[in-house]
């Protein structure tokens, strides 16, 4: 679990998905969430330009302020380096659109490295979908499919208000927004060529 510094309002929801044996990486100002999450860090990373280094008795990687990686991206790379296979990112979608978009791209990085990954914020769950079928329960009010790689075709959507067979979505025409799961059904989404960002709205 990677914890960033964007605002979190629904701590109780996150507490319900946290597992006791999760390895938790706090990124710089993500440390402000530590008490409300009730999660002690396994690792702390950051250049500490937005939060004071707490100097806890926890492994801490102090990064230079001038660098290519954001603290969050570094944390993802460190998680890959340490062999983790499943990643959950929280506190990474917020008021800074530039940081939010950069953090969404971490999902692509992790997928390219054979990892499973999702971003969870106060309203939604985000993940990358490709040729494997992704199932979406009607616990979610809406879902959207967004092209963030420039290439996505052979798109199939089943058991939804707006279904699709062998379709394509381009980055300059994002018509896959705000679809609905057929009541009592489980929607199915797959992309045979390319990848899409799946956003499931609670």
Q: What is the pLDDT of residue 23?
A: 97
Q: Residue 29 is encoded by which pair of tokens?
A: 């100002």
Q: What is the pLDDT of residue 124?
A: 96
Specify the length of the chain in residues. 202
> Per residue in 19-76, pLDDT tens?
888 999 999 999 999 999 999 999 999 999 888 889 999 999 999 988 899 999 999 9
pTM equals 0.93
In the chain, what are the domains? 2-122 (3.40.50.10240), 128-201 (2.60.120.320)
> Per residue in 123-158, pLDDT tens?
999 999 999 999 999 899 899 999 999 989 999 999
Helix, strand, coil percentages, rounded to 5, for the chain:
20, 35, 45
Question: Chain centroid to CA 45: how far?
Answer: 18
């Amino acid at each position: 679990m990677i914890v960033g510094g964007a605002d979190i309002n629904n701590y109780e929801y996150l507490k319900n998905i946290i597992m006791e044996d999760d390895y938790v990486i706090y990124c710089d100002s993500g440390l402000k969430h530590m008490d409300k999450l009730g999660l002690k860090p396994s690792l702390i990373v950051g250049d500490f330009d937005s939060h004071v280094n707490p100097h806890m008795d926890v492994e801490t990687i102090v990064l230079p302020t001038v660098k290519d990686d954001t603290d969050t991206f570094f944390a993802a790379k460190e998680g890959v380096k340490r062999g983790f296979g499943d990643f959950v990112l929280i506190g990474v979608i917020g008021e800074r659109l530039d940081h939010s978009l950069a953090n969404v791209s971490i999902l692509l990085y992790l997928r390219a490295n054979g990892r499973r990954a999702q971003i969870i914020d106060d309203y939604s769950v985000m993940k990358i979908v490709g040729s494997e079928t992704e199932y979406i329960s009607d616990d979610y009010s809406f879902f959207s499919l967004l092209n963030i790689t420039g290439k996505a075709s052979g798109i199939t959507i089943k058991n939804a208000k707006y279904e699709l067979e062998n379709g394509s979505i381009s980055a300059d025409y994002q018509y896959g927004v705000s679809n609905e799961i057929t009541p009592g059904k489980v929607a199915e989404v797959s992309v045979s060529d390319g990848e899409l960002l799946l956003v499931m709205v609670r």
